Every structure is written in structure tokens, then in C-alpha cells.
Structure 1
């Protein structure tokens, strides 16, 4: 398979070249030190795979990858980077990359990654994949645990605001023209939905959600 190496660090490119050329199924057809040069070398050499760095001078790696894929869709892009960053990973996938490998990946894993991508597969470094999984789990936990104000009815929101402003249940009953028992029921429901257990938590929640405003001392 024909490979193009793109990285602004010459020593790193040379190291990867030696690794690839030590295997009989790899051929490094060219090297590039920036995104613009990568686009030109890819147009000339028509590589099967481009190993692309992130954060090079000149044309961005993402724009270079986009142009390479536009000129020759069958060329595979594998990002080889030091960044263990979810935002970078998303951008790489958006421009059509097939792999995202960290530069400290062991040589055998890098070779496997290139071969997998060449065969049409996708490859993510285990460190990056692990981070994504943990981030996802954390978001799921937060979503499940986070009390949601959207679950409140309009009446419950109204009572939440009045309670946070310091009104008693009896006062709220008079203000809204409801029975004390009805207000108590709404109060119980809204505190259950929001996982609130006392007045202090209720006021704190109302401030955080900007349901009530705290005046600023001048």
C-alpha cells in the first residue's frame, strides 16, 4: 500500500518511514511538512493512505484532509497526533478520516491501525476510545442524576418561585386562590421531581436556574 507521511517534524517523519518500510506491504511514496504540501503530494502520488499530523503551519490538517478526500475519495486519512482531545477527534471524523492514533502508540499497534484503515476499517487509539467511553458514561450519569426543571408543571414552577421568594404555604394558597392542601401537594411533587429536601436547597436551586434574582448590593 502506498503511504504519504505528513508532519512538520522531520525526525518524526523519518522514524515513521523507517517503521513502515521495514514491512513488505508498505511503500512510502512521499513526505510533506505542511497541509498545502500534503494536498499537492497527494494529488501527484495518489496514495492509498495519508498519515496526517494535527497542528501544522499553513493550511490546517483538517482542510488539507478535506481537499485530499475531495480530489480522491478512495484515499484514506489516518491522523497520527499527540492530542488526546475529543474535539479534535470529532473534526477528524467530520473531514472523512478513518483513523485517529496517538503518537505514543506502540509500533505494532500503529502498523495494525494502518492495515485496518487500508482494508476499509476504522481505528481509534485505545486511550482515545477509553476517554470517549468514560465521557459518555459521565454524561449519562449526569443526565440521569441531574434534576430537570422541564419536568415541572406550570403550576409547580409558579409555586417553586413563590416558595423561593420566602412565601409560606398558607401565603401561597391565598396568592393563588388554592387550598393549603393543594399547595402542599404541589410542593411535595416539585421537591420530589427536583430531588430537593429542604428550603435551603430549594432557594439555591431557584437561584442557579434564575427562577428568582438576588439583588446586588450597591
Structure 2
């Protein structure tokens, strides 16, 4: 990461909260508050003229929700990183945020100011942040959702990759869609994904595999494309689920 400050957009309908977060981050030279918005619609207008590195956004706002806003932002600016900040500990909100492409999820009940600063810094570096207590629930949600995912992934990817026609089930009892999914990633991509699932950063993965960080990022892009996922959180949870079942 360069020495340039991480530019942040704050999106929250509570002025006092925005002022508090802004004051906190301005004390740290690593961050710069680029712009602010008090609702989703305003944020979508402002970002057209001021694209930040990180969007720090409330989940629940009047009008367009933070999750809807994140989805629209990421559709236009896929390199953008979004961190949802919320007082809600509802598992459904976390699940929807990750599905929308959010790279981080921070509870407003967190009292450690250092935690928020480090969480933002780590997301900017390519990591994903989820409250540890909520991670098992998210894994369970993805496990249930993924029961039919192999077949769907095969259908979506068959247009991109030539595969031989074969029966729906082989003699070893593994269905064609399941076999297709298992072989979808290259050995190196599986190595990268396993390390992502262990919580390693891009830099740590690069050191472990003796490759550059750019190569790690390239592998991650291919992994997400092949698995039809939005971010490394989803991919890591998918990998953990495959190891569990």
C-alpha cells in the first residue's frame, strides 16, 4: 500500500455519529475524510465526483438502505471497498451485506477506537472484517444457501469453458456438477483460497507461496469470477463449507 492517505466517504443519517467517526479518523495520518452523505441517494450522487478508497456506511438509513446503496455503488465501482457500520446484530443484515459485496462489517457497539481504525486499514489492504461472534452464523447461512450452488455455478460457467458431455453421475457416486465445481479451480487457486480462508492477508499469502501480491490479487479475481462471488469473505466461507461437508 502506498503512503497516500486512505480516502474515506462517510454515509450515515446521524450527524453526531459522522462527526464522531470523522474526528476519530482525522487523528490518524493514514486516513483522509474525502466526503460525507446523510443518505443513500445523496451518496450515489456525491461519489460520481469524488470516488473514495473506502465507504463507511450505515446499514439502516431513511429511503435507500445502506445495503442497497452498497450494491449500486459496487456495480459501478467494482474496485471500491465498502464497510457497513451498524448497531444491528441481526444475522440477516450481515448476510445481506456480504451478498451485496461489503468487505467489512463493524458494530457501532464497539468501544475500542483502535479496532475501527485497524479494521478500515485492513480492508483497504484487501482483507475482510467480520465480528468474530457473528462469523459462525454467516457460515451456516452460506452452507444452507450453497446446497444447490454447484449446479448453478456449472450452468453459469458452461458457456465460458468447454467440457465433455457426461452422465449426471459417475461410477464413484460424485455427480457431474459437483465434480465440475471441485475441478473448477486450478491447484494454485485452491492454495490461494485455502490461505484466504485461514485469514491471511494478500502480503502474507504472497510470502507463503513465494509470489508477488499482484499475482495473489490476480488469482483472487479469477477465483471470484469462477465461483460467481463478490468478495473474499464469500469465497472463504464457501471453502470452509466445502471442507466441512
Q: TM-score, normalised by structure 2?
A: 0.52
CA distance in 2, matches of 1:64, 1:16: 20
Larger Rg: 1
Aligned residue among 68, 71, 95 for 2:73:
68
Name the counterpart of 1:209: none
Aligned residue among 84, 91, 95 for 1:90:
95
Name the counterpart of 1:121: 127
Q: Deviations over 1:137-186 (max 9, x none)?
A: xx9xxxxxxxxxxxxxxxxxxxxxxxxxxxxxxxxxxxxxxxxxxxxxxx
The DSSP-based 3-state class of the residue aligned with 1:123 is coil
Q: Deviations over 1:170-208 (max 9, x none)?
A: xxxxxxxxxxxxxxxxxxxxxxxxxxxxxxxxxxxxxxx
Q: 1:127 Cα deviation (Å)?
A: 3.5
Name the counterpart of 2:204: none
- Alignment partner of 1:108 is 2:114: yes
Report if the CA contact (8 A) 1:7-1:33 is conserved.
Answer: yes
Name the counterpart of 2:218: none
Report if the CA contact (8 A) 2:95-2:138 is conserved.
Answer: no
The DSSP-based 3-state class of the residue aligned with 1:43 is coil
**Alignment root-mean-square deviation, CA:** 1.8
Q: TM-score, normalised by structure 1?
A: 0.59
Name the counterpart of 1:51: 56
- Alignment partner of 1:26 is 2:26: no
CA distance in 2, matches of 1:130, 1:65: 23
Deviant stretches of 4+, over 6 Å: none
Q: 1:46 Cα deviation (Å)?
A: 0.5
- Alignment partner of 1:5 is 2:5: no
Gaps of 5+ in 2: 1-5, 145-245
The DSSP-based 3-state class of the residue aligned with 1:101 is strand
**Higher RCO (CA 8 Å, separation ≥ 6 residues):** 2
